[in-house]
Amino acid sequence: MAKTKKPRERKTRSDAKLKTLARVDQETLWRLMNPTDSTVPAYTPEDAMVYVQGEHGISVSESTLYEWHSWYALNLRMEARENAANQLMEDMARNPENSEEQIRAAGQRLFMTEGIIERDFKKFTGAAKMTDESIKLQQAEKKIALLKKAGARDERKLAILEAKAAQADAAGAVAHDGKLTDAEKAAELKRIFRMG
């Protein structure tokens, strides 16, 4: 008689234990490890592991906790970008002259450039590691390459490129302006990119 094969139970991946917790529970864990109030001591990984075990009955390793922490941090930043892009698109949608395609493209562009205004400048933008001079040099090189390619026939393309370069310059200046708060930088960058 043939043996009936017992279906193998799928083991939950260790990192999924935390990633599949309810959002509110993940937020709580995040806040415990990253309190907004500087007078409140942050949970160490050991504290967090004990908390997760006690609160959710889940035993996680330190590496699982670190993996979840990186994943959640990136999620938060992506959400911030998403919200900024959504907001821009909502604003643009109020103007009937803006086509759906223009609105979508502007949202996507902001999503791609939003890294400039995130708190962790160094991590996020390769551009942040460059000096202003090197950014300008790159832009100039791009212009030259484009000119050669187009044979300087398409003046409209060049005008667009120059406008974009001007936007990038303006955005770079805003990003490096120590006098502005993050919120002011965000507002200023939105204003700059809406010009395009």
By CB under 8 A, name the binding residues for other proteins: 12-13, 16, 19-20, 67, 70-71, 74-75, 78-79, 81-82, 85, 105, 107-109, 111-112, 123, 126
31 or 164: CB nearest other proteins? 164
Tokens describing residue 120: 């962790």
158: amino acid identity, one letter: L
**Token couple for 144:** 């030259």
Backbone CA torsion sign across 64, 70, 73, 77:
negative
Closest approach, Cβ 39 to other proteins, in A, equals: 30
The nearer residue to other proteins, 157 or 180, going by C-beta atoms, is 157
For other proteins, which is the closer residue by CB, 126 or 151? 126
Q: Give min distance, CB of 2 to other proteins, in A.
A: 29
Which residue reads 């490096």 in tokens?
Answer: 176
Looking at residue 43, the DSSP 8-state letter turns out to be P
Contacts 24+ apart (CB under 8 A), 69-73: 69/30, 69/33, 71/15, 71/19, 72/26, 72/30
Pick 26 or 180: Cβ nearer other proteins: 26
Closest distance between other proteins and the C-beta of residue 60, in Å? 14
Give the shortest CB-38-to-other proteins separation in angstroms. 25
Rounded to 5°, angle at Cα 177 from 87 and 135: 90
